[in-house]
Amino acid sequence: MMTDHQILNRAQMAARVAQDIPGGWYCNLGIGIPTLIADHIPASREVVLHSENGILGMGPAPEPDQIDPWLINAGKQHVTLHPGGSFFHHADSFAMIRGGHIDLCVLGAFEVAENGDLANWATSAADAAPAVGGAMDLAVGAKRIWVVTEHVTKDGKSKLVERCSYPLTALGAVSRIYTNLAVVDVTPQGFVVREMVPGLTFEALQDRTAARLHLPENRNG
Amino acid sequence: MIDKRVGDLAAALEGVGDGATVMVGGFGSVGQPNALIEALIEQGARDLTIVANNAGAGRVGLARLMEAGRVRKIICSFPRSAGSVVFEELFKAGRLELEIVPQGTLAERIRAAGAGIPAFFTATGYGTRLGENKEVREFRGRHYILEESLPADVALVEAWRADRWGNCVYRKSGRNFNAIMATAAALTIVQTQHVAALGEIDPEAVVTPGIFVDRVVHVPYGDPQG
Protein backbone atom coordinates (compact mmCIF):
# COMPACT_ATOMS: atom_id res chain seq x y z
CA MET A 1 0.00 0.00 0.00
CA MET A 2 1.33 3.41 -0.87
CA THR A 3 1.93 5.63 2.11
CA ASP A 4 1.68 9.33 1.42
CA HIS A 5 2.15 10.46 4.99
CA GLN A 6 4.80 10.17 7.66
CA ILE A 7 4.54 7.51 10.39
CA LEU A 8 6.52 8.22 13.54
CA ASN A 9 8.78 5.49 14.86
CA ARG A 10 9.06 4.76 18.58
CA ALA A 11 11.92 7.21 19.16
CA GLN A 12 10.06 9.96 17.28
CA MET A 13 6.92 9.35 19.32
CA ALA A 14 8.98 9.59 22.50
CA ALA A 15 10.63 12.78 21.26
CA ARG A 16 7.24 14.31 20.46
CA VAL A 17 5.98 13.67 24.02
CA ALA A 18 9.22 15.06 25.48
CA GLN A 19 8.59 18.40 23.70
CA ASP A 20 5.50 18.94 25.86
CA ILE A 21 7.06 18.23 29.27
CA PRO A 22 8.12 21.50 30.90
CA GLY A 23 11.01 21.90 33.30
CA GLY A 24 10.12 21.48 36.97
CA TRP A 25 7.68 18.62 36.48
CA TYR A 26 7.92 15.39 38.47
CA CYS A 27 7.23 12.57 36.03
CA ASN A 28 6.80 8.83 36.06
CA LEU A 29 7.46 7.09 32.75
CA GLY A 30 5.99 3.63 32.18
CA ILE A 31 7.64 0.66 30.53
CA GLY A 32 8.13 0.62 26.73
CA ILE A 33 7.94 3.77 24.61
CA PRO A 34 7.38 5.96 27.72
CA THR A 35 10.82 4.95 29.04
CA LEU A 36 12.39 6.30 25.81
CA ILE A 37 11.02 9.79 26.53
CA ALA A 38 13.80 10.40 29.07
CA ASP A 39 16.38 10.28 26.26
CA HIS A 40 14.68 13.24 24.56
CA ILE A 41 14.47 15.67 27.48
CA PRO A 42 17.39 18.06 27.13
CA ALA A 43 19.80 18.05 30.09
CA SER A 44 19.23 21.79 30.51
CA ARG A 45 15.54 21.17 31.31
CA GLU A 46 15.19 19.91 34.89
CA VAL A 47 12.49 17.25 34.80
CA VAL A 48 12.60 14.98 37.86
CA LEU A 49 11.93 11.34 37.04
CA HIS A 50 10.23 9.10 39.61
CA SER A 51 10.43 5.32 39.76
CA GLU A 52 7.90 3.26 41.74
CA ASN A 53 10.61 1.29 43.52
CA GLY A 54 11.74 4.36 45.43
CA ILE A 55 13.78 6.75 43.30
CA LEU A 56 13.41 10.46 42.50
CA GLY A 57 15.91 12.12 40.20
CA MET A 58 16.55 9.05 38.10
CA GLY A 59 19.11 9.48 35.34
CA PRO A 60 19.78 7.57 32.12
CA ALA A 61 21.14 4.05 31.75
CA PRO A 62 24.79 3.79 32.83
CA GLU A 63 27.74 2.99 30.58
CA PRO A 64 28.34 -0.78 30.72
CA ASP A 65 31.39 -0.36 32.98
CA GLN A 66 29.53 2.00 35.32
CA ILE A 67 26.62 -0.27 36.31
CA ASP A 68 25.54 0.00 39.93
CA PRO A 69 23.87 -3.31 40.85
CA TRP A 70 21.92 -1.56 43.65
CA LEU A 71 20.20 0.91 41.35
CA ILE A 72 17.38 -0.34 39.13
CA ASN A 73 14.14 1.21 37.88
CA ALA A 74 10.60 -0.20 37.97
CA GLY A 75 11.32 -2.01 34.70
CA LYS A 76 14.24 -3.73 36.49
CA GLN A 77 16.79 -2.00 34.24
CA HIS A 78 19.97 -0.46 35.63
CA VAL A 79 19.79 3.33 35.90
CA THR A 80 21.75 6.24 37.38
CA LEU A 81 20.92 8.97 39.88
CA HIS A 82 21.22 12.71 39.25
CA PRO A 83 22.66 14.99 41.93
CA GLY A 84 19.69 15.93 44.13
CA GLY A 85 18.14 12.48 43.75
CA SER A 86 16.70 10.55 46.66
CA PHE A 87 15.68 7.05 47.78
CA PHE A 88 12.56 6.07 49.74
CA HIS A 89 10.41 3.04 50.48
CA HIS A 90 7.39 1.77 48.59
CA ALA A 91 4.72 3.36 50.81
CA ASP A 92 6.30 6.81 50.39
CA SER A 93 6.73 6.17 46.68
CA PHE A 94 3.05 5.44 46.22
CA ALA A 95 2.09 8.31 48.55
CA MET A 96 3.78 10.52 45.95
CA ILE A 97 1.68 8.83 43.27
CA ARG A 98 -1.68 8.41 45.02
CA GLY A 99 -1.34 11.75 46.81
CA GLY A 100 -1.27 13.69 43.56
CA HIS A 101 2.34 14.84 43.81
CA ILE A 102 3.40 13.45 40.44
CA ASP A 103 2.71 16.02 37.70
CA LEU A 104 2.63 13.56 34.84
CA CYS A 105 2.60 9.85 34.20
CA VAL A 106 3.07 8.57 30.66
CA LEU A 107 1.84 5.03 30.06
CA GLY A 108 1.39 2.61 27.20
CA ALA A 109 -2.10 1.27 26.45
CA PHE A 110 -4.03 -1.54 24.84
CA GLU A 111 -7.05 0.75 24.49
CA VAL A 112 -8.13 4.27 25.40
CA ALA A 113 -11.82 5.17 25.27
CA GLU A 114 -13.24 8.53 24.26
CA ASN A 115 -14.25 9.15 27.90
CA GLY A 116 -10.63 8.66 29.02
CA ASP A 117 -11.03 5.09 30.30
CA LEU A 118 -7.72 3.25 30.14
CA ALA A 119 -7.06 -0.45 29.54
CA ASN A 120 -3.40 -1.36 29.79
CA TRP A 121 -2.91 -4.25 32.23
CA ALA A 122 -4.77 -7.34 31.08
CA THR A 123 -5.56 -8.48 27.57
CA SER A 124 -8.69 -10.47 28.31
CA ALA A 125 -11.16 -11.23 31.06
CA ALA A 126 -10.02 -14.86 30.82
CA ASP A 127 -6.43 -14.01 31.72
CA ALA A 128 -6.64 -15.08 35.33
CA ALA A 129 -3.16 -14.03 36.41
CA PRO A 130 -2.22 -10.76 34.77
CA ALA A 131 0.41 -8.50 36.30
CA VAL A 132 -0.98 -5.15 37.35
CA GLY A 133 2.11 -3.66 39.01
CA GLY A 134 1.68 0.04 39.72
CA ALA A 135 -0.48 0.85 36.68
CA MET A 136 -3.77 1.29 38.56
CA ASP A 137 -2.19 3.50 41.25
CA LEU A 138 -0.48 5.70 38.68
CA ALA A 139 -3.64 5.99 36.57
CA VAL A 140 -5.73 7.35 39.46
CA GLY A 141 -3.00 9.24 41.27
CA ALA A 142 -0.87 11.31 38.91
CA LYS A 143 -2.10 14.84 38.14
CA ARG A 144 -2.30 13.98 34.45
CA ILE A 145 -2.07 10.77 32.46
CA TRP A 146 -0.81 10.79 28.91
CA VAL A 147 -0.71 7.69 26.77
CA VAL A 148 1.86 7.07 24.07
CA THR A 149 1.12 4.19 21.72
CA GLU A 150 0.84 3.13 18.11
CA HIS A 151 -2.45 4.36 16.67
CA VAL A 152 -3.50 0.85 15.64
CA THR A 153 -2.41 -2.65 16.71
CA LYS A 154 -0.30 -4.93 14.53
CA ASP A 155 -3.60 -6.36 13.25
CA GLY A 156 -4.78 -2.89 12.25
CA LYS A 157 -7.24 -2.50 15.14
CA SER A 158 -7.69 1.01 16.47
CA LYS A 159 -6.44 1.58 20.01
CA LEU A 160 -8.70 4.62 20.30
CA VAL A 161 -12.18 3.25 20.92
CA GLU A 162 -15.66 4.28 22.03
CA ARG A 163 -15.59 1.88 24.99
CA CYS A 164 -12.73 -0.34 26.14
CA SER A 165 -13.22 -4.06 25.58
CA TYR A 166 -10.20 -5.10 27.65
CA PRO A 167 -10.28 -5.02 31.48
CA LEU A 168 -10.03 -1.43 32.73
CA THR A 169 -7.05 0.03 34.54
CA ALA A 170 -8.91 3.19 35.58
CA LEU A 171 -11.99 5.21 34.66
CA GLY A 172 -11.68 8.54 32.87
CA ALA A 173 -7.96 8.78 33.53
CA VAL A 174 -6.36 9.76 30.24
CA SER A 175 -6.19 13.38 29.12
CA ARG A 176 -3.96 13.12 26.04
CA ILE A 177 -2.80 10.47 23.58
CA TYR A 178 0.34 10.61 21.45
CA THR A 179 0.29 8.09 18.61
CA ASN A 180 2.51 7.49 15.59
CA LEU A 181 -0.08 9.44 13.57
CA ALA A 182 -1.50 12.17 15.79
CA VAL A 183 -1.80 13.98 19.09
CA VAL A 184 -5.33 13.61 20.44
CA ASP A 185 -6.85 15.24 23.53
CA VAL A 186 -9.55 13.52 25.56
CA THR A 187 -12.21 16.14 26.28
CA PRO A 188 -15.80 16.14 27.56
CA GLN A 189 -16.77 16.17 23.85
CA GLY A 190 -14.60 13.12 23.10
CA PHE A 191 -11.40 12.84 21.07
CA VAL A 192 -10.11 16.17 19.73
CA VAL A 193 -7.25 16.03 17.21
CA ARG A 194 -4.54 18.57 18.05
CA GLU A 195 -1.91 17.53 15.56
CA MET A 196 -1.40 15.10 12.68
CA VAL A 197 1.76 13.83 10.98
CA PRO A 198 2.61 15.67 7.74
CA GLY A 199 0.63 14.44 4.76
CA LEU A 200 -2.17 12.79 6.77
CA THR A 201 -5.72 14.03 6.31
CA PHE A 202 -8.34 14.18 9.06
CA GLU A 203 -10.48 11.77 7.03
CA ALA A 204 -7.64 9.24 6.71
CA LEU A 205 -7.01 9.47 10.47
CA GLN A 206 -10.72 8.97 11.16
CA ASP A 207 -10.63 5.84 8.97
CA ARG A 208 -8.01 4.34 11.27
CA THR A 209 -9.87 5.27 14.46
CA ALA A 210 -12.75 3.33 16.02
CA ALA A 211 -14.31 6.36 17.69
CA ARG A 212 -15.46 9.72 16.41
CA LEU A 213 -12.72 12.33 16.09
CA HIS A 214 -13.32 16.05 16.42
CA LEU A 215 -11.41 19.09 15.25
CA PRO A 216 -10.71 21.86 17.75
CA GLU A 217 -13.53 24.42 17.70
CA ASN A 218 -11.18 27.39 17.44
CA ARG A 219 -9.19 25.86 14.61
CA ASN A 220 -8.03 28.42 12.09
CA GLY A 221 -7.90 27.37 8.43
CA MET B 1 21.58 -5.75 77.24
CA ILE B 2 19.44 -5.80 74.13
CA ASP B 3 21.07 -7.89 71.44
CA LYS B 4 18.88 -8.97 68.54
CA ARG B 5 21.76 -10.53 66.64
CA VAL B 6 21.55 -14.26 66.16
CA GLY B 7 24.48 -16.53 65.30
CA ASP B 8 23.23 -18.19 62.16
CA LEU B 9 20.38 -18.46 59.68
CA ALA B 10 18.81 -21.46 61.41
CA ALA B 11 18.47 -19.42 64.60
CA ALA B 12 17.07 -16.53 62.57
CA LEU B 13 14.21 -18.67 61.20
CA GLU B 14 13.49 -20.59 64.40
CA GLY B 15 9.81 -20.92 65.25
CA VAL B 16 8.29 -20.03 61.86
CA GLY B 17 5.18 -22.19 61.85
CA ASP B 18 3.18 -24.06 59.24
CA GLY B 19 0.46 -21.86 57.76
CA ALA B 20 2.36 -18.65 58.49
CA THR B 21 1.97 -15.50 56.40
CA VAL B 22 5.49 -14.49 55.39
CA MET B 23 6.44 -11.15 53.81
CA VAL B 24 9.46 -11.13 51.54
CA GLY B 25 11.13 -7.77 50.80
CA GLY B 26 12.88 -6.80 47.58
CA PHE B 27 12.02 -5.47 44.14
CA GLY B 28 13.61 -7.07 41.12
CA SER B 29 17.04 -8.32 42.08
CA VAL B 30 17.65 -5.57 44.63
CA GLY B 31 16.96 -5.95 48.34
CA GLN B 32 16.02 -9.63 48.18
CA PRO B 33 16.60 -11.46 51.48
CA ASN B 34 17.83 -14.51 49.58
CA ALA B 35 19.75 -16.10 52.47
CA LEU B 36 16.65 -15.96 54.68
CA ILE B 37 14.52 -17.54 51.93
CA GLU B 38 17.05 -20.36 51.55
CA ALA B 39 17.01 -20.79 55.32
CA LEU B 40 13.21 -20.93 55.28
CA ILE B 41 13.43 -23.76 52.74
CA GLU B 42 15.77 -25.60 55.11
CA GLN B 43 13.61 -24.77 58.13
CA GLY B 44 10.66 -26.68 56.72
CA ALA B 45 7.54 -24.57 57.41
CA ARG B 46 4.81 -25.33 54.89
CA ASP B 47 1.37 -24.19 53.79
CA LEU B 48 2.74 -20.66 53.69
CA THR B 49 1.11 -17.48 52.39
CA ILE B 50 3.77 -15.30 50.78
CA VAL B 51 3.47 -11.53 50.42
CA ALA B 52 5.92 -10.10 47.88
CA ASN B 53 5.90 -7.81 44.86
CA ASN B 54 6.87 -10.58 42.44
CA ALA B 55 6.35 -14.34 42.36
CA GLY B 56 9.96 -15.39 42.02
CA ALA B 57 12.23 -15.90 39.04
CA GLY B 58 14.26 -18.84 37.85
CA ARG B 59 14.38 -21.78 40.22
CA VAL B 60 16.13 -20.15 43.16
CA GLY B 61 14.99 -18.23 46.23
CA LEU B 62 11.24 -17.66 46.37
CA ALA B 63 10.75 -19.74 43.21
CA ARG B 64 12.51 -22.69 44.87
CA LEU B 65 10.34 -22.37 47.98
CA MET B 66 7.28 -22.48 45.73
CA GLU B 67 8.64 -25.35 43.67
CA ALA B 68 9.17 -27.32 46.88
CA GLY B 69 5.40 -27.14 47.37
CA ARG B 70 5.62 -25.07 50.51
CA VAL B 71 3.52 -22.11 49.38
CA ARG B 72 -0.27 -22.28 49.44
CA LYS B 73 -0.98 -18.72 48.36
CA ILE B 74 0.89 -15.71 47.02
CA ILE B 75 -0.21 -12.09 47.39
CA CYS B 76 1.63 -9.88 44.90
CA SER B 77 1.30 -7.16 42.26
CA PHE B 78 3.39 -8.57 39.43
CA PRO B 79 3.52 -12.39 39.30
CA ARG B 80 4.46 -12.58 35.64
CA SER B 81 7.94 -11.40 34.82
CA ALA B 82 10.96 -12.65 32.92
CA GLY B 83 11.73 -16.09 34.31
CA SER B 84 8.65 -16.62 36.49
CA VAL B 85 8.53 -20.24 35.28
CA VAL B 86 7.74 -21.90 38.61
CA PHE B 87 4.82 -19.56 39.21
CA GLU B 88 3.44 -20.32 35.74
CA GLU B 89 3.69 -24.08 36.26
CA LEU B 90 2.09 -24.10 39.70
CA PHE B 91 -0.62 -21.62 38.80
CA LYS B 92 -1.61 -23.54 35.65
CA ALA B 93 -1.71 -26.76 37.63
CA GLY B 94 -4.04 -25.15 40.17
CA ARG B 95 -1.54 -25.69 42.97
CA LEU B 96 -1.12 -22.06 43.94
CA GLU B 97 -3.68 -19.52 45.05
CA LEU B 98 -3.07 -16.00 43.76
CA GLU B 99 -4.22 -12.62 45.03
CA ILE B 100 -3.31 -9.79 42.66
CA VAL B 101 -3.01 -6.41 44.39
CA PRO B 102 -2.06 -3.09 42.75
CA GLN B 103 1.46 -2.24 43.83
CA GLY B 104 0.55 0.93 45.71
CA THR B 105 -2.39 -0.74 47.43
CA LEU B 106 -0.08 -3.60 48.43
CA ALA B 107 2.41 -1.12 49.89
CA GLU B 108 -0.30 0.80 51.75
CA ARG B 109 -1.96 -2.37 53.10
CA ILE B 110 1.43 -3.31 54.54
CA ARG B 111 2.11 0.19 55.88
CA ALA B 112 -1.38 0.32 57.43
CA ALA B 113 -0.84 -3.02 59.16
CA GLY B 114 2.36 -1.73 60.71
CA ALA B 115 0.62 1.47 61.80
CA GLY B 116 -2.40 -0.22 63.39
CA ILE B 117 -4.86 0.97 60.74
CA PRO B 118 -7.28 -1.89 59.93
CA ALA B 119 -8.49 -0.56 56.59
CA PHE B 120 -8.44 2.49 54.33
CA PHE B 121 -10.11 3.90 51.23
CA THR B 122 -8.25 4.31 47.95
CA ALA B 123 -9.26 5.34 44.44
CA THR B 124 -6.93 2.70 43.02
CA GLY B 125 -8.91 -0.12 41.44
CA TYR B 126 -12.32 1.58 41.57
CA GLY B 127 -14.41 0.53 38.57
CA THR B 128 -12.00 -2.27 37.65
CA ARG B 129 -11.95 -6.04 38.09
CA LEU B 130 -9.72 -5.65 41.14
CA GLY B 131 -12.30 -3.40 42.79
CA GLU B 132 -15.21 -5.80 42.39
CA ASN B 133 -17.10 -6.77 45.57
CA LYS B 134 -15.36 -4.10 47.61
CA GLU B 135 -17.18 -1.44 49.59
CA VAL B 136 -17.39 1.87 47.68
CA ARG B 137 -17.62 5.28 49.36
CA GLU B 138 -17.68 8.75 47.88
CA PHE B 139 -15.53 11.46 49.44
CA ARG B 140 -15.39 15.00 48.01
CA GLY B 141 -17.04 13.85 44.81
CA ARG B 142 -14.70 10.96 44.08
CA HIS B 143 -15.19 7.20 44.42
CA TYR B 144 -12.96 5.06 46.61
CA ILE B 145 -12.86 1.39 47.55
CA LEU B 146 -12.20 -0.09 50.97
CA GLU B 147 -8.97 -2.06 51.32
CA GLU B 148 -7.99 -3.97 54.46
CA SER B 149 -4.55 -3.84 55.99
CA LEU B 150 -2.23 -6.80 55.50
CA PRO B 151 -0.39 -7.95 58.61
CA ALA B 152 2.00 -10.91 58.61
CA ASP B 153 3.41 -13.44 61.02
CA VAL B 154 6.92 -13.06 59.67
CA ALA B 155 8.82 -10.49 57.56
CA LEU B 156 12.07 -11.37 55.80
CA VAL B 157 14.04 -8.17 55.25
CA GLU B 158 17.37 -7.31 53.66
CA ALA B 159 19.28 -4.32 55.08
CA TRP B 160 22.65 -2.78 54.22
CA ARG B 161 23.64 -2.03 57.83
CA ALA B 162 22.05 -2.96 61.13
CA ASP B 163 23.10 -2.77 64.79
CA ARG B 164 22.31 -4.97 67.79
CA TRP B 165 19.20 -2.94 68.61
CA GLY B 166 17.89 -3.66 65.10
CA ASN B 167 18.26 -0.15 63.67
CA CYS B 168 18.54 -0.51 59.89
CA VAL B 169 19.59 1.41 56.82
CA TYR B 170 19.15 0.13 53.28
CA ARG B 171 21.08 0.59 50.07
CA LYS B 172 19.73 2.66 47.15
CA SER B 173 16.74 0.96 45.48
CA GLY B 174 17.03 -1.88 48.03
CA ARG B 175 14.79 -0.05 50.51
CA ASN B 176 11.60 -0.75 48.48
CA PHE B 177 9.23 -3.09 50.39
CA ASN B 178 11.82 -3.98 53.05
CA ALA B 179 11.30 -0.92 55.23
CA ILE B 180 7.50 -1.23 55.34
CA MET B 181 7.39 -5.02 55.74
CA ALA B 182 9.70 -4.63 58.74
CA THR B 183 6.85 -2.77 60.51
CA ALA B 184 4.01 -5.14 59.63
CA ALA B 185 4.99 -8.55 61.02
CA ALA B 186 4.86 -10.16 64.45
CA LEU B 187 8.38 -11.48 63.83
CA THR B 188 10.72 -9.32 61.73
CA ILE B 189 13.96 -10.99 60.67
CA VAL B 190 16.70 -8.89 59.08
CA GLN B 191 19.65 -10.16 57.09
CA THR B 192 22.26 -7.43 56.91
CA GLN B 193 25.37 -6.99 54.79
CA HIS B 194 27.14 -5.08 57.56
CA VAL B 195 26.78 -5.09 61.33
CA ALA B 196 27.32 -1.65 62.88
CA ALA B 197 28.31 -0.93 66.46
CA LEU B 198 25.57 0.67 68.54
CA GLY B 199 25.67 4.43 67.90
CA GLU B 200 27.61 4.04 64.69
CA ILE B 201 24.54 4.56 62.47
CA ASP B 202 23.69 8.27 62.37
CA PRO B 203 20.36 8.57 64.25
CA GLU B 204 19.21 11.07 61.59
CA ALA B 205 19.76 8.40 58.93
CA VAL B 206 18.06 5.40 60.58
CA VAL B 207 15.32 4.21 58.24
CA THR B 208 13.91 1.35 60.30
CA PRO B 209 14.16 2.03 64.04
CA GLY B 210 15.03 -1.12 66.01
CA ILE B 211 11.61 -1.31 67.69
CA PHE B 212 10.29 -2.96 64.51
CA VAL B 213 13.02 -5.61 64.35
CA ASP B 214 13.26 -8.89 66.28
CA ARG B 215 16.30 -10.69 64.87
CA VAL B 216 19.40 -9.61 62.97
CA VAL B 217 21.67 -12.04 61.13
CA HIS B 218 24.89 -11.08 59.37
CA VAL B 219 24.92 -12.12 55.69
CA PRO B 220 27.71 -10.32 53.76
CA TYR B 221 26.90 -11.65 50.31
CA GLY B 222 28.09 -8.75 48.13
CA ASP B 223 26.16 -7.30 45.21
CA PRO B 224 22.76 -8.39 43.83
CA GLN B 225 23.06 -10.58 40.76
CA GLY B 226 21.03 -9.91 37.60
Of the residues A46, A52, A150, A195, only one is catalytic, namely A52
Residue A65 lies in a domain: yes
Determine the structural domain holding residue A175 and report its residue range.
Answer: 10-214
The CATH number of the domain holding residue A196 is: 3.40.1080.10
Q: Which helix (H) or strand (E) holds B223?
A: none
Gap between the Cα atoms of B205 and A38, Å rounded: 31
Residue A197 lies in a domain: yes
What integer is the mean pLDDT of B138-148? 98
Please give, rounded to a whole number of angstroms, the shortest distance from the CA of A103 to a CA of chain B: 17
What integer is the mean pLDDT of B68-90? 93
Interface of B with A in 25-54 (CB under 8 A): 27-30
Interface of A with B in 95-114 (CB under 8 A): 97-98
Q: Answer whether A89 sits within 8 Å of B91, measured CB to CB.
A: no
What integer is the mean pLDDT of A82-96? 98
Of A159-168, B42-51, B79-88, B120-129, give the lowest mean pLDDT range.
B79-88
Buried b (16+ CB within 10 A) or exposed e, B24-48: bbbbbbbbbbbbbbbbbbebebeeb
What confidence score (pLDDT) does residue A221 get? 46
Q: How far is CA B35 from CA A70, A169, A174, B86, B222, in A?
A: 17, 36, 43, 19, 12
Please give, rounded to a whole number of angstroms, the shortest distance from the CA of A46 to a CA of chain B: 22
Beta bridge partners of A118: A112, A170
Known catalytic membership, residue A195? no
Tens digits of residue pLDDT in B155-178: 999 999 999 999 999 999 999 999
Q: How many domains does chain A have?
A: 1
Q: Answer whether B172 sits within 8 Å of A125, measured CB to CB.
A: no
Residue A3 lies in a domain: no
Residue A162 lies in a domain: yes
Could you tell me the domains of chain B?
9-116+149-218 (3.40.1080.10)
Residue A4 lies in a domain: no
Percent of chain A with pLDDT over 70: 95
Tens digits of residue pLDDT in A168-213: 999 999 999 999 999 999 999 999 999 999 999 999 999 999 999 9
Say if residue A148's pLDDT is above 60.
yes
Say if residue A124's pLDDT is above 90.
no
Residue ranges of the alpha helices (H) in A25-89?
33-36
What confidence score (pLDDT) does residue A19 get? 98
Q: Answer whether A129 sits within 8 Å of B91, measured CB to CB.
A: yes
Please give, rounded to a whole number of angstroms, the shortest distance from the CA of A62 to a CA of chain B: 15
What confidence score (pLDDT) does residue A219 get? 58
What integer is the mean pLDDT of B103-122? 98
Nearest to B79 among A90, A129, A167 (CB): A129
Nearest to B111 among A54, A91, A171 (CB): A91
Say yes or no: A68 contacts chain B, CB-CB below 8 A.
yes
Tens digits of residue pLDDT in B190-216: 999 999 999 999 999 999 999 999 999
